[in-house]
Amino acid sequence: MKYKRILLKLSGEALMGKKGFGIDQERLQEYAKEIKSIVNAGCQVAVVIGGGNIFRGIQAEKGGMDRVHGDYMGMLATVINSMAIQSALEVLGIETRLQSAIKMEQICEPFIRRKAVRHLEKGRVVIFGAGTGNPYFTTDTAATLRAIEIEANVILKGTRVDGIYTSDPEKDKNAKRYDTIKFQEVYEKGLEVMDMTAFTLCKENNLPIIVFDMNKLGNLMKLVNGDKVGTLVEV
Ligand code: GTP
């Protein structure tokens, strides 16, 4: 196994599946099965999921809502998605622990780094909810921060595109996919991988990123085993 400890970042929108809003149970179960396969293979897995299928702080701001208020609502949305993933994994017999950056004792543990690491060592999937607990940060930044804190070997960013392209493949037929790319090149070419805060945090802490298509079954297992899937961003 190439990566012993990973942080898997999932987008909230991906959970919608074909629905326009909320959580698609079929998609949720698919993701849970994918995660189960690598846990059973001995990989230590932490998960961060966005909340865009339920609420987006930035869009709410356009509608006149205070940005900070909207961001907190977005953080709560990530906790809902985290609970959904937690439940789907537990149905499959996978042990999980949910830790939130905002305290909600009745629902989950507070984020405690040392405890998170112990859970991982015991083979439990640790899900980090509520982002960083601060407004003005994205879930990509939360995922990066947690990945560094738990000393994950890599951050796996599951998207609906199968990697990083020279231009937007949904708009440009001639777009080419990179197998690997350097952090510096991403800056120079102005490619979008994560927001700059998250991306720079990865670069400065030497944390590789792999962008891959999470909706293609089996990809996660291949990645963990070191097969070339998606695009690897490295120093
Ligand atoms: P170890 O015993 O250290 O292996 O870990 P553990 O998570 O099993 O121990 P702990 O006794 O801390 O937790 C038992 C259960 O309570 C787990 O399902 C935890 O997720 C849950 N739990 C622990 N702390 C909290 C909390 O603050 N709030 C909530 N809601 N659940 C908690």
State pLDDT tens for residues 171-212: 999 999 999 999 999 999 999 999 999 999 999 999 999 999
In this structure, how many other beta carbons lie within 10 angstroms of the beta carbon of residue 9?
28
Cα 175 to Cα 8: distance, rounded to the nearest angstrom:
26
Least confident range from 15-24, 33-42, 110-119: namely: 15-24
Q: For residue 96, what is the enclosing H or E element?
A: strand 96-100
Report residue 152: phi and psi, to 5°: -65, 150
- Whether the CB-CB separation of 213 and 165 falls below 8 Å is answered with no
> How much is the average pLDDT of 154-170?
93
Residue type, 57: G
**Pocket mutation for ligand 1, best pick of 100, 102, 108 (most atoms within 8 Å of C-beta):** 108
Look-up of token digits 């952090």: 183
pLDDT exceeding 70 applies to what percent of the chain? 100
Mean pLDDT score across all residues of the chain: 96
Q: How far is the CA of 6 from the centre of ligand 1 (A)?
A: 22
Least confident range from 4-8, 20-24, 32-36: namely: 20-24
Q: Is the pLDDT of residue 28 over 90?
A: yes
Strands of the sheet with 109-110, listed across from one edge:
109-110, 96-100, 125-129, 44-49, 5-10, 154-159, 209-213, 231-234, 180-182
109 lines ligand 1 (CB under 6 A): yes
24 lines ligand 1 (CB under 6 A): no
Q: How far is the CA of 104 from the centre of ligand 1 (A)?
A: 13
Query: What pLDDT does 183 receive?
Result: 98
Q: Is the pLDDT of residue 20 over 90?
A: no
Residue nearest to atom 1 of ligand 1 (CA): 119
In sequence order, which residues have a C-beta less than 8 Å from that of residue 204 and are 6 or more positions away?
none
Under DSSP, the state recorded for 24 is -
Q: How far is the CA of 97 from the centre of ligand 1 (A)?
A: 8
Say how many Å lie between the first and final Cα of the chain, rounded: 21
> How much is the average pLDDT of 89-96?
98
pLDDT exceeding 90 applies to what percent of the chain? 94
The atom number, within ligand 1, closest to the CA of 103 reads 27
112 lines ligand 1 (CB under 6 A): no
97 lines ligand 1 (CB under 6 A): yes
- On whether the pTM is more than 0.85, the answer is yes
- The model's confidence at residue 58, banded by pLDDT at 50, 70 and 90, is confident
Query: What pLDDT does 218 receive?
Result: 98
> How much is the average pLDDT of 120-139?
98
- The model's confidence at residue 120, banded by pLDDT at 50, 70 and 90, is very high
Cα 97 to Cα 90: distance, rounded to the nearest angstrom:
10
Q: In the CATH scheme, what architecture does the domain 5-234 have?
A: 3-Layer(aba) Sandwich (3.40)
Domain boundaries, the chain: 5-234
